[in-house]
Chains A and B, each alone.
Chain A
Amino acid sequence: MSNKKAEMPEESTANGGDSNRIDNSNSGGASSAGAGGRNASQKHIEKIVLQYLKSKGYKDAEKALRENAMLDTAETTLGDLSNAFPASEVGSDASVPNWILFYNEAEQGNPDAYSQSYKELRRWIDNSLDVYKHELYAASYPIFVHSYLDLLGRELYEKAAEFMELYSCDHRVFHSKDISALETLKAKSHIQENELAKLYRENKYGVRMTRVGFELLLSFLQDHHYTLLMRTVNQHLNIRTIDGTVPISSEAEADVGITGHTQNQLDHFNSQEIVLGSASLDPFVRDEVERTLQSEAGRRIKDNTSREAAGMLETFSKIKQDSSVNGLSSREAIPMPPPRGIEIEQQIANLKAVRKRISLGPAALPSICMYTLHNTNNTMNCATVSEDLSLLAGGFSESYIKIWSLKREPLRGLTSNFYPNSVNSVEDAEMLREKTTDDYRKLVGHSGPVFGLDISFDSKYLISSSEDKTTRLWSLDTFTNVVCYKGHNYPIWDVSFAPQGFYFATASHDRTARLWSCDHIYALRIFAGHLSDVNCVRFHPNSKYVVTGSCDKTVRLWDVQRGSCVRVFTGHTGSIDTVAISPDGRIMASAGEDQTVNVWDLGSGRRMDTLTGHTGPVYSLTFSQEGTLLLSGSADETVRAWNQASNSSKPAAVSSSERKKRDAAGIWKSKRVAESEALLETWRTKSTPVYTIAMSKRNLGIAIGAFTLS
């Protein structure tokens, strides 16, 4: 124990003492059942000493002890033990006290002990506080590796393989290379041959932990008598306690891992191939749009509309060309239901918008229309506008959703009681609408606060997620609840429609994000991997990926088809509340509690920029249509515009300057925040935290906030 003391921090010494006491009493109790009138613990120690002598090859001493102590029954047990624990395993590293301290007969004999105790450890980490989760996960990696190697060493090959299969997923993100290498080990002898395994066996693995986190881990292992794991911690880990929080870093730190061996293999993980091109148009829609435009342009009477149509046709062919170069092949794209005609209208409207779009940039800042909600008394949780800017919706703590018409026209839903025979034309259908004159509607159905809202691209559907564990689809023709999707077992924080509708994704407190389609009441994919609540979810413009932000301070990119994680973005120092992807699908921005906005390159998974300046949690982000500007809305009652024009010219530039910025960003606590150079403009509101910021197709900014009396 003496050599351990030198390496472990002070607290561990005290804890080591505790473990001593607990372990002895425990193992004593275990052996007392088998022993008769003899002092149980005495016999137990003798047994261990005997084992030790045997393992070291001190035959005479062993024999003497055996005779003196008259351990006749011990032979069988020891035989098992020596099988389970060959002498070679107790190498020069294992000292006598270590051997005695961490000896638990029940565990030693049980081939499932590693699997069981690691499973418990994993579950315990999963349930621990978010603050400590990361460091505990980091510490569990060497435990995992050594448990695996131990199992191999004990020639329990099947168990080892099973162990690897079950738990390797936890560490693949950060240690994918090492795990794939270790996976190939199939026999005890391989450990001796394999460079990597030897590296792990012969070196101590450095881990950084906070004081509390370390104490929690130790007391967990002690309380449950996981002596095997405890031994690994003692033998192979070099734990350094630090003050403050342990950063989840993507860069190798000097005292983390094994010196000289690259520990962090996140980059390797993030190098998985992804396709970021834009989604190709449905051939039917494409042809139909072309046909419509051509007939418009080719009309005999040359008026404005025909000229416009001609221009739009030009733009459309350009877009078509682009998509044929960068777009996804039909095999790559996710399946969509056949087009209903609304897509064609939508496409033409988009083309119109593109032609009328004001191009924005650092020199040309957008106009922003602010919608302020009054009398909310802090009960509004979320808000959104439809893409055509005709509807505004808000989700409230009182379980209802309220929709306003932004054109101040009455919202009249279709009634359901009519004779189908009497409806012969559109006019007849219009006649069937309700006779209300109110320009707002309340949607009642949820039984808990509504946390997430989204309106489909065609403004026909609204989807809402709530604390009541359900997601509901509302028709905006009838203003009624159409479908209720159940599946999550905890509150759902966010919901988002796919760009072309039909699919939607939810983010929940249950640490998963799920993909749904409107026509199925169960989830099509479950994206599991976040260590804590998933706070927000957004679709990639090509619908092939979803991006999620979580309380575990990471952002993940998921492949919709495979349901697996393909990118992990680390670098935030607080929970992530919002993400946004640029319309070209190459850049992603995330922000949240830590008041900074990070801009990422989706392709490489690297951080491109850290934008500081906000003095409150950031609630919402949006890119301009060209991706040259990033707008952010925050609790600090401001909307800020950030320059993104320079980013396109320097993709994935990770340099020392970036690191410096992060250091500078470490002083958030002071009232004055160092503002990034990219900050172009700050617009203040009158005591209105900005809940949502959006960009219309024509590059008009929309900000929504609830007026709050301070």
Chain B
Amino acid sequence: MVKGVINGIPVEVKAGTTILEAAKQVQINIPTLCKHPDLISSAACGLCVVKIKKLNRMLRACTTPLEEGMDVQTHDPEIVETRRTVLELILSNHPNDCLTCGRNNNCELQKLVADFGIREESFEKFVKEIPADDSTGTIVLEPQKCIKCGRCVEVCQDIQNVWALSFLERGVHTRISPAGDIKLAESPCVQCGQCSAHCPTGAIFEKDDTAKVWRAIQDPEKYCVVQIAPAVRVAIGEAFGFPLGTNLTRKLYALLRRLGFEAVFDTNFGADVTIMEEASEFVERFVHKKGTLPLITTCCPSWVDFMEKFHPDMIDHFSSCKSPHEIVGALAKTYFAKEKKIDPSKMVMVSIMPCTSKKYEITRTGEMFASGFQDVDIAITTRELARMIKQAGLDFSHLPEENPDHLLGDYTGAGVIFGATGGVMEAAIRTAYFLITEQKLPKVEFENVRGLKGVKETSVSVDGQEVRIAVAHGLANVEFVLDKIREAKRKKEPVPYHFVEVMACPGGCVGGGGQPYGVTDELRTARARGIYGDDEGSALRCSHENPYVQKLYNEFLGKPLGKKSHHLLHTAYKSRPIYKR
């Protein structure tokens, strides 16, 4: 521990703690535009300068550790004036597009400029013209609005290990771009959207598909249906002042009906179906030795894309099961349409997702058209839904609570935990245990797969056999798991794991790239708490217990991994080039 003084207040922190962090302990927030709790300090923006007594210069609080006896001043007229100059310099390279910017009213730069009361631009404007890049159809790059904080580059390279984004050139010519000024769609980008979730300004944001949704809702010819992903319900409230992690599932059902959707489904139901298929797949491979172990989960389209580009040698390990929202999409246009006598060609399925990559997934391969139509027509993010709610003038907090539409709406606790890292694994084990032993689990919670540790390794005993498990989230953490698998293969040793779950985004879908801004581990934990609370409060906690899942198999699909299931609920993978040029 080291002791110091900040603004005259004594403070004691662990050695190595930066002044920026130490100041928070004495209720002081030092402004910064580049430092993010997920990332190593890059000291790029220069806003967090502070004075240290006996030292004749200002230092950056984000990279300077508090030292024994240090006497720090974080705010005085000269420091404030310096910060104002830094902001004015940033503004001189930033376009004045605030009113029509995707981050209007939600921009870290705009907020600081307002806080500092900057009323005029005192430096000559120099904004380099760089065209926007919307080639992916999921994430839009507007490098002109980039303030070169480096967060997106760090997330893309260090947290996700994708290396789609980089800083090219230097000085005033520095810009974010894929290697060699190619389009993002031609780069290794897996469209996880973590860059957009970490960008302080409007330089990277999700492609807005809300207009498409409004058009579909308004079209009298169309029958517009919707589904919400597990992680959306515990994050949407942040945009409306609810406490962090509040679970708004049933208010959301009411809200979506009032937005004009004719039927409201839940992706959690699809998650229960995913588990029926995936747990059966696991039993096939683990018990009946048909297929490669470990089985690796495939609910996350960014992970699928990452694997197809960087690790095609792992394709045999992949579960062929589609992700939950694709399953709901395929079933809506076949099973639901048949039961309710609706023409599936008139049906529009909208998925509300915590994820930018789902926009890509809906046309990923031919199997996404299994119903004979595009199974999911439009995917929008939590952020886009928040805007739609505001446009519709709905008073979220006073809305009544409603139930989803049956057949594709009712879910178990196993379905909802898909939204947090480890959730798919936990849900799958609950059902796999039943499939193998035909007995009820004495305890359904598997605490060892929960939480924010990058790689979680554990094992469970099923029918006297040890099932070895790994759960990884944040794509840079995957390498460790895959290397272990490859190493065992090379040495012809027993597999290190039988079952592996991977989610591209840190924290899983609760930390998805399409979720409300400002994500930190604290927020990921709060959202996950909401999810696990929903599970605990559920009467049924295993997917196979869901009466509507049972009805689906009895009356429509037959059995898991059967012919119809295979056609509607499964997909295939192929190696893809890392760079298209």
| A-B interaction | no
